[in-house]
């Protein structure tokens, strides 16, 4: 009774760990890929106000006009090329729509490895083929690896910076290389910028949308403002692609959360410098706690660190840590390799210190 499509997809390894952690008393949870802070009160109050005002019905399929306009100005102010924008059900919904309107069966999407697991399976669900190129050991983009992954079936290069799961922030030189190759090969670039505010050593962060005109830029409100459960994102890029996504959204999602869009207007004006400073401190706490015991690259952004597992088997090491009630995600969820593990530092200092102690003792 089931389709071949669903039979080719395995359940998310990330969700499996989340579910397991929920069944354990007092877990030390360093697996979660969402902020540990709540939505700022002023943004919550904005959403509540619009609920009470009765703004609870369907909205236009492309998003409310005032939010589309404000996001477009926000991106233009950062120097990002884009002709149009659509409001989506998070970056997850935006990526699905963008792939729906660009991929034909057997078209290839080139993705750096390690990568966020969603990229692989959304591509497969739509009949495309994910093709990975290696960024180990230092998680940098190398031209020979990228060129080696491109074929005459390549349609899209998908870049995520800052990166989930590694925390890597690609340099301007790396992104200019991607743009040069994409321009030469007449390819579209998808740039997942969901963590773009979470950069700790480089300011301002370079985005591909600033240097390549045929870029589709993905962003959202889940990370920067803690609005993960409100499912609010956006996609900006060439008008032809965005308009087709609006049409497709009519049939896939109908429209996006009404009051969250109004709150999003307020969020774009909310200063998050304090939040970023706090996460820089958490990054430093985690890195300093592990660097003398683990082979690890200091993450420049996002809220993840991706050390090599002792013995080179991340799956086995995560199982050993589970016995100590420490929850992490094996690197094999995000990679063709299983040598590493993803640790989230989006947690309280108390949780981070407990996790560091266990990790040091496990070596």
Q: What is the pLDDT of residues 233-245, one digit of tens each?
A: 999 999 999 999 9
Is 341 found in the same domain as 258?
Answer: no
Name the band, by pLDDT with cuts 50, 70 and 90, for residue 18.
low
Domain assignment present for 51: no
Is 224 found in the same domain as 210?
Answer: yes
Is 339 found in the same domain as 297?
Answer: yes
Domain assignment present for 19: yes
Is 63 found in the same domain as 150?
Answer: yes
pLDDT above 60 for 330: yes
Name the band, by pLDDT with cuts 50, 70 and 90, for residue 2.
confident
pLDDT above 80 for 7: no
Segment 284-318, tens digit of pLDDT: 999 999 999 999 999 999 999 999 999 999 999 99
User: Among 15-19, 144-148, 206-210, 337-341, which stretch is predicted with the lowest mean pLDDT?
Assistant: 15-19
Which pLDDT belongs to residue 114? 98
Segment 80-107, tens digit of pLDDT: 999 999 999 999 999 999 999 999 999 9
C-alpha span between 203 and 78 (Å, rounded): 12
Domain assignment present for 32: yes
* 313 burial via Cβ count (<10 Å: 0-12, 13-18, 19+): middle
Segment 153-193, tens digit of pLDDT: 999 999 999 999 999 999 999 999 999 999 999 999 999 99
Domain assignment present for 236: yes
Q: What is the domain extent for residue 122?
A: 57-267
Is 342 found in the same domain as 216?
Answer: no
Number of domains in the chain: 2
pLDDT above 70 for 20: no
Which pLDDT belongs to residue 202? 84
Is 151 found in the same domain as 236?
Answer: yes
Q: CATH no. for residue 204?
A: 3.40.640.10
What is the share, in percent, of the chain residues with pLDDT greater than 90? Answer: 90
Domain assignment present for 45: no
Is 151 found in the same domain as 31?
Answer: no
Last residue of a domain, one of 208, 243, 267: 267
User: Among 15-29, 69-83, 342-356, which stretch is predicted with the lowest mean pLDDT?
Assistant: 15-29
pLDDT above 80 for 11: no
Domain assignment present for 49: no
User: Among 175-179, 323-327, 342-346, which stretch is predicted with the lowest mean pLDDT?
Assistant: 323-327
C-alpha span between 279 and 271 (Å, rounded): 15
Is 321 found in the same domain as 174?
Answer: no
Is 77 found in the same domain as 150?
Answer: yes
Domain assignment present for 48: no
Is 93 found in the same domain as 24?
Answer: no
Segment 198-234, tens digit of pLDDT: 999 987 789 999 999 999 999 999 999 999 999 999 9
Domain assignment present for 162: yes
Which pLDDT belongs to residue 33? 87
Q: Which residue has the tokens 């993705």?
A: 111
Last residue of a domain, one of 202, 232, 267: 267
Last residue of a domain, one of 267, 297, 323: 267
Name the band, by pLDDT with cuts 50, 70 and 90, for residue 137.
very high
Q: CATH no. for residue 294?
A: 3.90.1150.10
Is 125 found in the same domain as 259?
Answer: yes
Is 205 found in the same domain as 120?
Answer: yes
pLDDT above 90 for 9: no
Of residues 252 and 1, more confidently modeled: 252
Residue 168 contacts residue 199 (beta carbons within 8 Å): no
Which pLDDT belongs to residue 15? 61
């Amino acid at each position: 009774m089931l389709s071949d499509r669903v039979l080719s997809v395995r359940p998310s390894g990330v969700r499996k760990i989340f579910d397991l952690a929920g069944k354990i008393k007092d877990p030390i949870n360093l697996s979660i890929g969402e902020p540990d802070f709540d939505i700022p009160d002023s943004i919550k109050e904005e959403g509540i106000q619009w609920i009470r005002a009765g703004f609870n019905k369907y909205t236009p399929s492309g998003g409310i006009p005032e939010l589309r306009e404000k996001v477009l100005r926000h991106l233009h102010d950062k120097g990002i090329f884009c002709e149009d924008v659509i409001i989506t059900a998070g970056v997850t919904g935006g990526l699905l729509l963008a792939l729906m309107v660009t991929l034909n069966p057997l078209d290839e999407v080139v993705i750096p490895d390690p990568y966020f697991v969603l990229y692989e399976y959304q591509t497969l669900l739509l009949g495309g083929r994910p093709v990975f190129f290696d960024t180990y050991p230092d998680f940098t983009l190398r031209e020979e690896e990228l060129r080696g992954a491109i074929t005459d079936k390549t349609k899209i290069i998908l870049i995520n910076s800052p990166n989930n799961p590694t925390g890597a922030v690609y340099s301007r030189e790396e992104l200019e290389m991607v743009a040069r190759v994409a321009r030469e090969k007449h390819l579209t670039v998808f740039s997942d910028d969901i963590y773009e505010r979470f950069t700790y050593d480089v300011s301002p962060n370079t985005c591909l949308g600033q240097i390549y005109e045929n870029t589709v830029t993905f962003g959202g409100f889940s990370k920067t403002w803690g609005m993960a459960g409100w499912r609010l994102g956006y996609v900006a890029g060439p008008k032809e692609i965005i308009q087709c996504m609006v049409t497709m959204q009519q049939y896939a999602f109908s429209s996006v959360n009404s009051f969250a869009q109004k709150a999003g207007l307020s969020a774009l004006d909310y200063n998050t410098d304090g939040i970023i400073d706090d996460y820089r401190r958490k990054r430093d706490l985690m890195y300093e706690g592990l660097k003398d015991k683990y082979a690890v690259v200091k993450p420049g952004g996002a809220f993840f660190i991706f050390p090599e597992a002792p013995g080179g088997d991340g799956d086995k090491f995560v199982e050993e840590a589970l016995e100590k009630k420490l929850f992490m995600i094996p690197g094999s969820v995000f990679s063709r390799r299983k040598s590493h593990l993803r640790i989230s530092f989006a947690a309280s200092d108390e949780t981070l210190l407990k996790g560091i102690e266990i990790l040091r003792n496990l070596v």
